[in-house]
Structure 1
């Protein structure tokens, strides 16, 4: 499926080191040939809302990480030579000081070749059932041996419940945090010359933030939120992603995702995510920001008649359920995007006004017919 979706990706120049932080790293290295070059890898994780890095005048709302669960707490950097030999497999643990920026890794490598650099963060995250989100033993990848390319690229993140990256236990939703993150880069290292690179790593999730605004004088009780349709599977690493860079209106450049793949073709075996609220009230003339919801990326290729009919939400207020029409402009949700949904409850509750903004690829406004 060819997908054109503007999605901001930024290679940040990292000048800030983690001074004063307690960082533990370990690695088994192999001797390198003579005439090696040094590669300095600076790894950045852009906030899920990347508007500030796209030349926009201001960052999107609710852009900050709401908890350490959205930051890197561990990081693994694996460098692989063109023949598939693992040159380095280094693991960092900084869970005591979680971060969105890391720029301290330096490696001695063979020069004059293009290497693959794999990045994995928060690899130990588990669901409440004890199953790891990334169900693979990255520590078992040995330096000097062949990198298990097929095993890694074929790995899925999946859920067997109606909540991706979230598992349901006794009707209580529990977020699997910290969020798993990953990416793979091709890096050319010149012969007999040092090289510094700045790489990105992306959260393997779509973050939803709902802001409920009550314009009436009376408090309103929220009972349930439903989002459809969500995928049950995604790849461990971004799969067959095509990035396109083109000039923006302000003279800078913007990089966006043109296409990407998901494990399940067609409808991804989709489901409806439901969040029930035991005691959630929006005060009169006030607003409430719901706890973030983290779901898997999705990309649909249903029957042509369903194009543009992928995502919609409904909200139960008191005894009434209000549902919006499909977001016709929103055909897919790649990982590391932040969906901010502003829902306004009017005084007579004849309907809901809903505006959806999707980041980090700039402001993307959707105007669904909500409650009509």
Structure 2
């Protein structure tokens, strides 16, 4: 199957709303009077979700913090490690520092997650051991740390490493109080599945192609004209923070695009940039839940899975500005062909990016991609059944979001045709026609007479199809139908003034005998010679021998050759066929 795909793409940056955050304070409290230079650091992960209803998973918080401060000559002034009391979202640190200096402040969180680092001759140890080797007065730290890279391990809730570097001027005395942000060395993918179908859907697996396997510990953002224009005088960290704080989830794509994309950065030369990620286990999305007495209240089944990948660069072919592209592939149980789609408008996968992919399951798949600062997503599944009791049809929504029903295997594009129960003024309900109750099934949302597809009789549960074979019971072969006397006859619906040449000719022939009725789904049985006279020779006074109503009743032409006679036979069916 190659499903039709609707991909309305919305990219937004999540708003950061200020609320109180629990924190862990290190060192002494800030004194009232300061006679020397003091640095007061408030350390937080960038892109922290502050919405009252959202919480970060523990692996995205800080379990430890390390602060390394360098003098202007590059030697180490402070190298402080702080083990936090569990997972923290904020950490306050007070340090006395040498006055009248421009310092570089290196910040790290969750260093214990990395058992091995690479990239520098003689460095083959844990990240903590590397840091501990630089005591006060040591030199060479900046060059060495900028060369470090590692293979991230995000499995089993492993805390995500974070890093950043700031330059700051320290006065002769007084307090420099500032919030410093650490940036996660990771990208996050959140896959949200919403199932409007009436049966469970299982995603066997899904993949993302292609990502890198190694990252630098410190971000390597190029000092290029492209980046200078993007940052507009700010550091890349301040740019990223500002974009996240001034954006909201309601921004349209134009607003987000105006904020720009950080695309000019480097990965380690040793990184394999063509790794394909495969989610390790199946995802089952429960069926939609609905109330047959209130079909406007359908609750889709939902499932959500999150995973982490390294910062990556997968260049888009022929893109001159460094734009990237990434491909999602889903394999669904019961569907032989995978769903493959480029993730639209995901132009870069710089660290600390959260890609939210919303997959909506109707008869086809709809995909929406949001790219936001690092946040958590909380989706609560709804479970339930979703079949219409009388027909057994699967309840769902069509590609426009309208409520519909599916008959048969809705993974198959041949049978996955959305159907609409009941007339437009009473959808999903039985109607009484000529003293019998019927459930009408249409092939269009507007439920027009021309798109009446089939119907059910409630008392007998009989299903009436509106094909010529089903209405008449005749068999088709050799371009003609055989009636019950095995005579070769023509069947048609009375022609169409806007149809092909055959339809136009028959329509004209019936008008010539006074028939100008608008009823849909009425079949006419012609003697084959008479049909040819009407179609090819244009003879006057030629008409069918019989006509059929939708129930399969066969009438002589004389019992339906006028509007009054036809309506007399059809009765209340007329209002559903005109």
Same fold (TM over 0.5): yes
Aligned to 1:45: 45
Shift of 1:303: 4.9
Q: Aligned equivalents of 1:132 and 1:48: distance in 2?
A: 31
> Compared with structure 1, are the counterparts of its residues 8 and 183 closer, same or farther at alpha carbon in structure 2 (3 Å cutoff)?
farther
Q: Aligned equivalents of 2:47 and 2:214: distance in 1?
A: 23
Match runs of 1:1-372 below 5 Å: 18=23, 36-47=36-47, 64-65=55-56, 67-94=57-84, 96-103=85-92, 105-126=93-114, 134=127, 137-158=130-151, 165-166=153-154, 174-175=155-156, 177-240=158-221, 242=227, 243-244=231-232, 258-264=262-268, 269-278=273-282, 280-285=283-288, 286-301=300-315, 303-304=317-318, 310-320=325-335, 321-346=337-362, 348=363, 351-360=364-373
CA contact (8 A) 1:134 1:157 kept: no
Q: Aligned equivalents of 1:63 and 1:352: distance in 2?
A: 28
Q: Aligned equivalents of 1:133 and 1:291: distance in 2?
A: 30
Name whichever of 255-264 and 189-198 sits farther off: 255-264
The structure where helix makes up a greater share of residues is 2
SS across alignment from 1:213: strand
Name whichever of 146-155 and 301-310 sits farther off: 301-310
> Compared with structure 1, are the counterparts of its residues 234 and 48 closer, same or farther at alpha carbon in structure 2 (3 Å cutoff)?
farther
CA contact (8 A) 1:81 1:116 kept: yes
SS across alignment from 1:197: strand
1:204-232 superposed Cα distances (whole Å, 9 cap, x missing partner) = 10011111111001011121010111112
Where does the alignment leave 5 or more consecutive residues of structure 1 unmatched?
26-34, 53-58, 159-163, 167-173, 363-370
Q: Aligned equivalents of 2:132 and 2:358: distance in 1?
A: 42
Shift of 1:238: 1.3
CA contact (8 A) 1:155 1:235 kept: yes
> Compared with structure 1, are the counterparts of its residues 41 and 353 closer, same or farther at alpha carbon in structure 2 (3 Å cutoff)?
same
CA contact (8 A) 1:342 1:356 kept: yes
Superposed CA RMSD: 4.0
Q: Aligned equivalents of 1:265 and 1:300: distance in 2?
A: 14
CA contact (8 A) 1:134 1:236 kept: no
Name whichever of 331-340 and 236-245 sits farther off: 236-245
> Compared with structure 1, are the counterparts of its residues 333 and 132 closer, same or farther at alpha carbon in structure 2 (3 Å cutoff)?
farther
The structure where strand makes up a greater share of residues is 1
> Compared with structure 1, are the counterparts of its residues 175 and 80 closer, same or farther at alpha carbon in structure 2 (3 Å cutoff)?
same
Q: Aligned equivalents of 2:140 and 2:219: distance in 1?
A: 18
Shift of 1:114: 1.0
Shift of 1:234: 1.7
Shift of 1:276: 3.2
Where relative contact order (Cα < 8 A, 6+ residues apart) is larger, the structure is 1
- TM-score, with normalisation over the residues of structure 2? 0.48
Shift of 1:43: 0.8
> Compared with structure 1, are the counterparts of its residues 127 and 92 closer, same or farther at alpha carbon in structure 2 (3 Å cutoff)?
closer
Shift of 1:267: 9.5
Q: Aligned equivalents of 2:18 and 2:349: distance in 1?
A: 27
Q: Aligned equivalents of 1:292 and 1:302: distance in 2?
A: 25
SS across alignment from 1:149: helix
Shift of 1:269: 2.4
Shift of 1:110: 1.2
SS across alignment from 1:98: strand
